[in-house]
Amino acid sequence: MNASARTALKVLGAVYLAGVWLDGVGSNLPGKILPRTAEYFMQIAALFPRAEVASIDYRAQGWVCQDRRWEELDTRPYFPIDPDNKENRFERVLHFFHEHRGPSRGDGRARPEDVTLRALDAYLVGAHNDGKRDDGIPRDRMLGGTRFLSLRIPLPRPGDRLERVVRHPLEDYPEKQRAYWYHTPHAKIEAHCGYHAGEVELE
Amino acid sequence: MSAFDRLSTWIDEPQPVLRLALVRILAPLAILGFMSARLVHADEWIGDAGFRVPDLGGDWRQPIFIPALPSNVAWALAALMIVSGLACAAGWKTRGSGLVFAATLAFVAVSDRLAAFTVSKLSPFVMLAVALGPSGTRLGVDAWRKQRAGGKRPLKVEVAGSLRFLQLLLVTIYSASGIAKVHGDWLKEPLVLWTQLHDSYQTPFTFALASALPAWAWTLFQGLTLAFELGAPLWFVLPRTRVPALCFGLGMHAMIGLMFGPVVWFALLMMILLAATFLPDAGLAPLERLADRLEERRPAEAR
């Protein structure tokens, strides 16, 4: 490797390290001067800076047309990578796109959160109705839509009697621990299920 | 001599090649370990068989939109990642295989943000450093073939800017992480660590420790971690504190790996980088002797 190439590599290395450090300490300078993709690769420090206030778990329910009710839809068969922890891609979609809801766009375009959650909704309804995997809702039961929620499970205090963290069915969690973030528009559910407008109360 | 010249001299100081060779052998294995859960579902991960976040037109959560790959291309890319990673670890066509491995890692990191974590973003740069440095000149197929062809023993020390880059990278990550913690809750809330123990990352080891240790122990760990990270530039620069800092760092990452389920691969990668780049020469000596013995045998085998 010649001297010019070595110098260029030193400069690139220094820029990368400076970007990692600045991004980690909360500076917005890398975001201002670097392309977004370059900045993305520098977001590797600043791990676990805040205390958790609850254990968060994301879940989905499906509207079962024949039974006319919401039932828990196990998303893990459709998101098989790391199915049992918060690195699962379904959990990550909700993590990224429910928590950071920005203001409505003024240009008439749908918000990124809405675009993403609708796509997720369509993916899950389609995947269940294809009937290829077991997701907790019988395969012969058509889904008309989905709704997504988070569980905010209180943290124990030091000295409390602890229980291993395990995934319980949704029905085991009280309503006050649930926060609903999205559901398929009612008109769409009615159309999917062949209902008359206003025929059923979906909430 | 200007500060830049001094820094440049320090970067160009000859270093034991074995350190980079260790990173070359072990880091791809840890990275592939992290990727393994994704690789077995390549078509759902980066292919068109799974859910994809739509094109959000420049949203900050989507640094670049890359459409889903056809499933057969996704599987081919997964195979390329595995083969190039293993080839690099074996020291076979090290520069080329390292660069290909780094490129596949960079691609998957931007292709799917949902399954991308610190290892995803860090590993392309680690592998670039490996590929651009003299990491393939010892303990690998390239070294063996070169020695067989020429009969020369490989150099033990060489200019290795890559090694300096990896040392600085670790210190940079720790320092920034420590400052982020100060800006966050780590000085205000005595039980930040405790609050991280009760979600789906929890392992049986986490549960056992959380059940057994008093609250003050978690505050103590929190304080030690913060002191280590904030002071990292000092601890790793001063010769007297370097070995204790290395030991603390290895212990900290071992605990993280044992306590936070899937974070084990990140912990392993950091331990590999720490040990390979900061192990004192005396600690490296047994490995040097082992490498020497392996390299002595090779000409005989070749004959």
Give the start-to-end residue ranges of the domains of chain A.
3-42, 54-193
Which of A6, A78, A87, A163 is the best mutation test for B, with the most CBs of B within 10 A? A87
Q: Do B172 and A89 touch (CB under 8 A)?
A: no
Residue A116 has pLDDT above 70, yes or no: yes
Residue B303 has pLDDT above 50, yes or no: no
Q: Which residue of A has its CA nearest to B36?
A: A81
Mean pLDDT, chain B, whole residue set = 94
**How far is it, in rounded angstroms, from Cα A137 to Cα A143?**
9
Mean pLDDT, chain A, whole residue set = 92
At B150 the pLDDT is: 79
Give the ipTM. Answer: 0.93
Q: Which residue has the higher pLDDT, A37 or B150?
A: A37
Smallest CA–CA separation between A132 and chain B, in Å? Answer: 13
Which of A15, A20, A32, A56 is the best mutation test for B, with the most CBs of B within 10 A? A20
* Residue numbers in B near A109 (CB within 8 A): 57
Q: Do B200 and A44 touch (CB under 8 A)?
A: no
Q: Do A52 and B161 touch (CB under 8 A)?
A: no
**Among B56, B58, B176, beta carbon nearest to A20:** B176
Total H helices, total E strands in chain A: 6, 4
State pLDDT tens for residues B66-96: 999 999 999 999 999 999 999 999 999 999 9
Q: Which of residues 114-153 of A touch B (CB under 8 A)?
A: 115-116, 119-120, 123, 153
Which of B173, B185, B218, B219 is the best mutation test for A, with the most CBs of A within 10 A? B173
Residue B130 has pLDDT above 50, yes or no: yes
Residue B300 has pLDDT above 80, yes or no: no
Q: Which residue of A has its CA nearest to B174?
A: A45
Chain position carrying tokens 């002595």: B296
**How far is it, in rounded angstroms, from Cα B38 to Cα B22?**
25
Secondary structure of chain B in HEC code, one letter for each residue: CCHHHHHHHHHCCEEEHHHHHHHHHHHHHHHHHHHHHHHCCHHHHCECCCCCCCCCCCCCCCCCCCCCECHHHHHHHHHHHHHHHHHHHHCCCHHHHHHHHHHHHHHHHHHCCCCCCHHHHHHHHHHHHHHHCCHHHCCCHHHHHHHHHHCCCCCCEEECHHHHHHHHHHHHHHHHHHHHHHHCCCCCCCCHHHHCCCCCCECHHHHHHHHHCCHHHHHHHHHHHHHHHHCHHHHHHCHHHHHHHHHHHHHHHHHHHHHEHHHHHHHHHHHHHHHHHHCCHHHHHHHHHHHHHHHHHHHHHHC
**How far is it, in rounded angstroms, from Cα B100 to Cα B80?**
8
**How far is it, in rounded angstroms, from Cα A58 to Cα A97?**
12
Pairing state between β A69-73 and A54-64:
antiparallel
CB-facing half-sphere around the CA of B201: CA atoms within 13 A: 18
**Among B57, B204, B262, beta carbon nearest to A82:** B262
Q: Do B45 and A96 touch (CB under 8 A)?
A: no
At B299 the pLDDT is: 52
* Two tokens, residue B22: 């260790």
Tell me what the mean pLDDT of segment B216-235 comes to: 98
State pLDDT tens for residues A121-142: 999 999 999 999 999 999 999 9
**Spatial CA neighbour of A65 closest among A119, A131, A129:** A129
**Among A23, A36, A86, beta carbon nearest to B201:** A86
**How far is it, in rounded angstroms, from Cα B36 to Cα A141?**
34
Confidence of residue A105 (pLDDT cuts 50, 70, 90): low
Residue A181 has pLDDT above 50, yes or no: yes
**How far is it, in rounded angstroms, from Cα A144 to Cα A130?**
13
**How far is it, in rounded angstroms, from Cα A18 to Cα A14?**
6
Residue B15 identity (one-letter amino acid): Q
**Among B45, B54, B112, beta carbon nearest to A115:** B54
Whether A199 and A193 have beta carbons less than 8 Å apart is answered as no
Whether A42 and A141 have beta carbons less than 8 Å apart is answered as no
Instruction: Tell me which long-range contacts A6-10 makes (C-beta under 8 A, separation of at least 24).
Output: A6/B161, A9/B132, A9/B161, A10/B8, A10/B11, A10/B161
Residue B256 has pLDDT above 50, yes or no: yes
Tell me what the mean pLDDT of segment B122-131 comes to: 98
Give yes or no for A3 touching B (CB within 8 A): no
Tell me what the mean pLDDT of segment A56-82 comes to: 97
* Two tokens, residue B268: 């392993």
Q: Where are the domains of chain B?
A: 16-134+155-159, 167-303
Q: Do B183 and A25 touch (CB under 8 A)?
A: yes
Residue B293 has pLDDT above 50, yes or no: yes
Which of A1, A44, A115, A153 is the best mutation test for B, with the most CBs of B within 10 A? A44
**How far is it, in rounded angstroms, from Cα A60 to Cα A128?**
12
